[in-house]
Copies of this chain bind each other. A is one copy, B any other.
Amino acid sequence: MIATVSNTTPQRLVVAVGGNATHPEDIRGTTAEQEQIAARTARALLPLVQAAHEIVVTHGNGPVVGKILLRQYYAREHVPPMRLDVCVAHSQGGIGHLLMQGLEDELARAGDARRVACVITRVAVNAEDEAFQHPRKPIGPFFTADKAEELHRALGWNMVEDSGRGWRYVVPSPKPREILDLELIAGLAAQGIVVIAAGGGGIPMVLRADGSYSGVPAVIDKDMTSALLANRLGIETLLILTAVSRVAVNYRKSDQRELDTVTASELAGHLKAGEFAEGSMGPKIEAALKFLAGGGTRAIIASIDEALPAIEGRAGTQVVAG
């Protein structure tokens, strides 16, 4: 490994936090529990917020959308379900509210008058994206085979068996093409406002024949959207925060090896060799590579507990051009 990483803290930053950063892993989770987790996430993000002049925080929404879907399921005979793009919009509001409060509390405790904003963010996808023909992204909880059958009949959900743990609803996960609310995010971030944006990968929209946009039932990978957002903002550093401290090859084998600094071409080789689990580390690796290919300088995949050392080049897996 010959690549080197600057140890200066970047002034402009996009940080992507997981859907579990505001919600317990388990599908349960009261509002009070979510607030505690949002507060913990905000504490982890505070040093980044204080270090960067411009910072945009994106977040996943898996557990929250999972609960929205479950509620829609149990109420299906009484209340019409919302289309999936509207579910994503709901999750942006709810998670944004809790995360915004967590961040403002941390800033206030640190005596920092910086403000936080949460903007509803729509992201264009291609109506011809092959994902619409082949829905493969599992969302929401696991169901038994019988229940899966019933859900398919009652709500038209595509169900697939997932990792031996049960059946899950799968939806299209098209690639993000444009951040429709980019100018808004850019303007706020440039003013020094901490921007929470593109929650859950953004509200998926497709271009209609008349040139306008329409929401579609899909979800966009939040790391892919974060990579595109950082590219479009001309931001050189993308930090993807997750539950593990580094990307590993030969994962869970006797010769498991954690990557500290790695070039894009080396990492692409590992990806091609099938080193990374689809739906888990895989999309993060793809997002990191996409970001570098789109003009980014450094993508970091790190644990949320090591956010500051990670951007200082002292923790996490640092992916650089080459």
Name the contact of A89 in the complex, choosing from B70, B78, B85, B97 (C-beta under 8 A).
Answer: B97
Interface of A is mostly: helix
Q: Are B89 and A79 touching (Cβ within 8 A)?
A: no
Name the contact of A86 in the complex, choosing from B94, B108, B183 (C-beta under 8 A).
Answer: B94
A89-B94, A97-B203 given; A78·B70 CB < 8 A: yes
- Decide if A152 is an interface residue (CB 8 Å cutoff): no
- Decide if A191 is an interface residue (CB 8 Å cutoff): yes
Residues of A within 8 A of B (CB): 27-32, 34-35, 67, 70-75, 78-80, 82-83, 85-86, 89-94, 96-98, 100-101, 104-105, 108-109, 115, 117-120, 122, 181, 183-184, 187-188, 191, 193, 203, 205, 211-215
List 25 A-B residue pairs with CB atoms under 8 Å apart, sorted by A's residue number: A31-B80, A31-B83, A35-B214, A35-B215, A67-B79, A70-B79, A71-B71, A71-B72, A89-B93, A89-B97, A89-B98, A90-B93, A90-B94, A92-B93, A93-B93, A100-B120, A101-B212, A101-B214, A101-B215, A104-B213, A105-B213, A115-B184, A117-B120, A119-B119, A184-B188
